[in-house]
Structure 1
Amino acid sequence: MSEEQTVSLVDVLEEDEELEEEASAVLAGSDSDHCSYPQGYVKRQALYACNTCTPKGGEAAGVCLACSYKCHEGHDLFELYTKRNFRCDCGNRKFSELQCKLYTEKEEVNSLNKYSHNFFGVYCTCGRPYPDPDDQVEDEMIQCVVCEDWLHGRHLGCLVPDCVELQEMICESCMNKNPFLWTYAAHLAVPGAAVQVKEETGTDKSNTNLPKKEEKPSCKRSREEAEPSCRLKELDAIGKKRVQSGAVFWPSAWRSRLCSCNACKESLSEVGLSFLLDESDTVLAYENKGKSNEQGQQRHDPLMSALDNLNRVQQLEIIHGYNDMKTELKDFLQRFAAEGKVVTPDDIRQFFEEQQSRKRQRVDAGRFYCT
């Protein structure tokens, strides 16, 4: 008979720490009580699309975290993770019958919002839902930092590198729409099987990888007004090339190595890629903000303080109770995940009310009376 393994409550709590951090990373960076519409086009926020209110075939629309709770409770929602520069659509013209309960003074449409097939619950170049009931292949999905679509690893056209969670990815379609990114990729991207180095000779270069702005002749200026040299042109002049196919993965802090001369800034602005020069635009920066917010709220943890005053027997009783609750809560949440529904505060409240009811039944069943 094997010896029973000793587990501390701290060990048990740490098992779920990673899952809790993932949830707080996405949700703690957004306001769950107030509609984000008054903030305008929010730099990055958690978003949802409502299949009940705006089904496929209609106009795409997205709602903020608070509206997903307060205005779309019980609806069929698609979780979109996060999107940049988006203004909440809840209750505008796209919602024929629904009025926003949190903020009513909204324009008919948000003209600067960008939409994709994600807003109708499909993703990747294969246009399939997630989770996909007909797909038996275990495959992670990775978000492109430019178009923000989610793609299956097997549909990227390249090998997915290790530590992918610390790297950003640009899909092949976005790379080809912005050819100058291939020049950066040859020098800055994570090395992979798709890389091919070639040193060009001679002075005849087409500079096809440069943004269109770079091809325009610069205006005359005095030597004092001249700006620093263009890093992109310098990289292109080296002649190092990369096979221009498949998605490209980029290491951390790669954005800081992009050229920020005036000409490149204008070029990036023209094609809507100015955010690439902003380190705080990254999903990782957003997640770290959410984790910081959550940690600030939990700085003084009364649970851990109380545990220090309990004896070993009391701690073991709490461990068993916690394990039972964790198993039941996991099963409860999996039903929502399978149906693609958002868990609301009322759902959580109902769960704990049922837990309390079962606890009372167990206590009553265990009572003995003397006759």
Structure 2
Amino acid sequence: MMSEEQTVSLVDVLEEDEELEEEASAVLAGSDSDHCSYPQGYVKRQALYACSTCTPKGGEAAGVCLACSYKCHEGHDLFELYTKRNFRCDCGNRKFNELQCKLHPEKEEVNSLNKYSHNFFGVYCTCNRPYPDPDDQVEDEMIQCVVCEDWLHGRHLGCVVPDCVELQEMICESCMNKNPLLWTYAAHLSGKHAAHLSVPGAAQVKEESGADESNTDLPKKEEKGDDVIEPSCKRSREEAEPSCRLKQLQATGQKRVQSGAVFWPSAWRSKLCSCSTCKECLSEAGLSFLLDESDTVLAYENEGKNNEQRQQGHDPLMSALDNLNRVQQLEIIHGYNDMKSELKDFLQRFAAEGKVVTPDDIRQFFEQQQSRKRRRDDAGRFYCT
């Protein structure tokens, strides 16, 4: 008899399988599974992998694209990196010693603009642990920082994780502290202050450069001690453009405790100032991508889902069915419906008796289906005139 910990319902299995399939489709369908992405240069965002077989810990970090993970590293030990921005495939370059890329062998020795982290050696978070972690018994989700793109455990973020975390972008405390101007925005756009986004004046910051400077309903600014947070760029506040939203926010005096990760509401990037001064600040900090809403993982996943739907329109199975005559199509449809009905009846017996469906039960069901089909085929041949 199966233990209680091992017992799961068929509905649980199907739902989990569907969820994993949708997640995989969202991540992978946005990347090319047949062609190395190297010729595209530093791809805006793509699914990436690190090969511990070819580039083990202690060596140089390297990442490979989706297609190379299939064609060049089959059977190797790979770390799934989810997605990374502005990365060029390393497969077969100097870091891989003997291995040559099968899809695009002509590559420069290194990709100097790629950024690497401990993720490329299979460890994550501030705790520097693998995922999944066999020694970690705590159930906890991992969340990706949109700046450093590391994955952190919810319990190591130093803040309360919101219920709708899958709808929000997160910036870890380390990245916030490296870019102090983000704390100014955090005081107005995140947490309890997000409610201010709906007031008449705040809604106007969605415009590219025309925030209403006469508006005085903006929420108050955050300070650290008594010092006003300055833009980390060459121009001083006095030189900042009159329409600078960041300068407006700094002038309000809104305070916020500057600790812990920050979760940002939907469309928060559109609220960032895009004046020339702030663009220069963000560029110098390597944060220009924050002004690009299509940079988000959500935008990438939506593109992947759209690609998947377009590909489903060219399903080879459906194309094959289209080539059959109406009688053959009806026979296949009736056969499918019969099997679906029989499977439903089969599973309902288990539900009525409160029994758990095992892999052997499912295997037995399909063996019975095959046996019945053979008997029908044999009977048809016997009576055929």
Larger CA deviation: 305-314 vs 157-166: 305-314
Task: Tell me by how many angstroms 1:188 deviates.
Answer: 7.0
Identity across the alignment (%): 92
Q: Distance in 2 between matches of 1:121 and 1:80?
A: 8
On the 8 A contact 2:143/2:152 being kept in 1, the answer is yes
Larger CA deviation: 260-269 vs 301-310: 301-310
Task: Tell me by how many angstroms 1:18 deviates.
Answer: 3.4
- Residue 319 to residue 179, structure 1, CA distance change in 2 (3 Å): farther
Larger CA deviation: 290-299 vs 351-360: 351-360
Deviations 1:64-109 (A, max 9, x none): 0000000000000000000000000000000111000000110000
Q: TM-score, normalised by structure 1?
A: 0.71
Task: Tell me by how many angstroms 1:20 deviates.
Answer: 2.4
Task: Tell me by how many angstroms 1:15 deviates.
Answer: 7.6
Q: Distance in 1 between matches of 2:289 and 2:358?
A: 33
Deviations 1:144-186 (A, max 9, x none): 0000000000000011001111100000000000011011099
Q: Distance in 2 between matches of 1:219 and 1:173?
A: 19
Instruction: State the structure with more CA Rg.
Output: 2
Structure 1 residue aligned with 2:170: 169
Q: Distance in 2 between matches of 1:338 and 1:87?
A: 55
Structure possessing the higher relative contact order (Cα contacts under 8 Å, 6 or more residues apart) = 1
- Residue 193 to residue 258, structure 1, CA distance change in 2 (3 Å): closer
- Residue 331 to residue 251, structure 1, CA distance change in 2 (3 Å): farther
Task: Tell me by how many angstroms 1:36 deviates.
Answer: 0.2
Q: Distance in 2 between matches of 1:247 and 1:48?
A: 26
Task: Tell me by how many angstroms 1:13 deviates.
Answer: 8.2
CA root-mean-square deviation: 10.6
Q: Distance in 2 between matches of 1:290 and 1:258?
A: 27
- Residue 202 to residue 229, structure 1, CA distance change in 2 (3 Å): closer
Task: Tell me by how many angstroms 1:19 deviates.
Answer: 3.0
- Residue 74 to residue 261, structure 1, CA distance change in 2 (3 Å): same
Unaligned runs of 5+ in 2: 186-193, 225-230
Q: Distance in 1 between matches of 2:212 and 2:237?
A: 27
In proportion to residue count, which structure has more helix? Answer: 2
Larger CA deviation: 147-156 vs 201-210: 201-210
Larger CA deviation: 45-54 vs 303-312: 303-312
On the 8 A contact 1:213/1:264 being kept in 2, the answer is no
Task: Tell me by how many angstroms 1:328 deviates.
Answer: 19
- Residue 359 to residue 135, structure 1, CA distance change in 2 (3 Å): farther
- Residue 40 to residue 322, structure 1, CA distance change in 2 (3 Å): farther
Task: Tell me by how many angstroms 1:299 deviates.
Answer: 3.0
Q: Secondary structure at the match of 2:95?
A: coil
Deviations 1:190-248 (A, max 9, x none): 99999x99999999999999999999999999999995511001011111111000000
- Residue 53 to residue 311, structure 1, CA distance change in 2 (3 Å): same
Q: Distance in 1 between matches of 2:256 and 2:165?
A: 20
Q: Distance in 1 between matches of 2:248 and 2:313?
A: 49
Q: TM-score, normalised by structure 2?
A: 0.68
